Amino acid sequence: MIVGLTGGLGCGKSEVLKIIREYGIDVISADDVVHELLRSPDIKSKLKEAFGEGIFDESGEVNRRILANIVFKNKEKLEFLNSLIHPFVREIIRFRIGESRRQGEDLVVEIPLLLEAGDPYEVDVIVVVSAPINLILERLKNFRGWTEEEIKDRMKSQLPLEEKEKRAHYVVYNDGSLEELKEKVKLLIEKLKLRPKKRYYS
């Protein structure tokens, strides 16, 4: 089974993915793929040409927060960034999905914009991680240090959380403690009958 994991900003998608990984189930994160792509000399060269030196930190790596603050205020720049990065992300994730299907293994794919993607991924089940708006704002401000303006800019690029919940096969409400979230994820894994990745030994 291929599971698409998505949700709103600050809802805890990465934490849910981490818990799933701890069960030995194969996972891939679109954010991790993007992190790797942003280290590519070719990608960095194109970003430098489009956005200038200011998006890089002292070590020469892309400062994602600075880049995000630029693109989420300018639709054309956001579209350019997406056109540069997303084709590679899609290719890598689709390859992993194909490999998992061929090997008969379960895979959980975390894609923040899964439901917004114009070119959908071939997942069997969609799981949305959700949380109350007051908790979301608290997490983004306290743990990521985002301002209210940054949060609003980024939320504009995503479907409303209520719409994501309607399109989901399953919703995980991350509105309590970490232990409560772990229990909810455990129940989800049992419900979906997800299995640990096969281990091959010589």
Output the pLDDT for position 199.
59
How high is the mean pLDDT of the chain? 91
Please report the DSSP string for 99-111 in residue order.
HHHHHT--EEEE-
Pick 112 or 180 by higher pLDDT: 180
What number is the average pLDDT over the span 24-36? 94
> Amino acid letter at 114?
L
Distance between CA 128 and CA 135 in Å, rounded? 16
Output the pLDDT for position 201.
41
Output the pLDDT for position 49.
93
Instruction: Write the pLDDT tens digit of every residue in 11-20.
Output: 999 999 999 9
Q: Does residue 167 register a pLDDT over 60?
A: yes
Q: Does residue 200 register a pLDDT over 60?
A: no
Distance between CA 2 and CA 125 in Å, rounded? 7
Spatial contact of 198 and 154, defined as CB atoms under 8 Å apart? no
Output the pLDDT for position 119.
60
Question: Using the 8-state DSSP alphabet, how is residue 56 labeled?
Answer: B
What number is the average pLDDT over the span 124-150? 89
What number is the average pLDDT over the span 147-158? 84
What number is the average pLDDT over the span 99-119? 89
What number is the average pLDDT over the span 173-190? 96
With both helix axes pointing from N to C terminus, report the angle between 64-71 and 41-51 in degrees, rounded to the nearest 10.
50
39: which strand partners? none
Task: Tell me the pLDDT band of 118, cut-offs 50, 70 and 90.
Answer: low
Pick 167 or 202 by higher pLDDT: 167
Q: Does residue 155 register a pLDDT over 60?
A: yes
From the list 8, 24, 19, 14, the residue with the least C-alpha distance to 171 is 8
What number is the average pLDDT over the span 16-33? 95
Percent of the chain scoring above 90 in pLDDT? 71
What number is the average pLDDT over the span 41-60? 93
Percent of the chain scoring above 70 in pLDDT? 97
Q: Does residue 100 register a pLDDT over 50?
A: yes
Distance between CA 107 and CA 123 in Å, rounded? 9
* CA angle (13 as vertex; 10, 19 as ends), nearest 5: 130
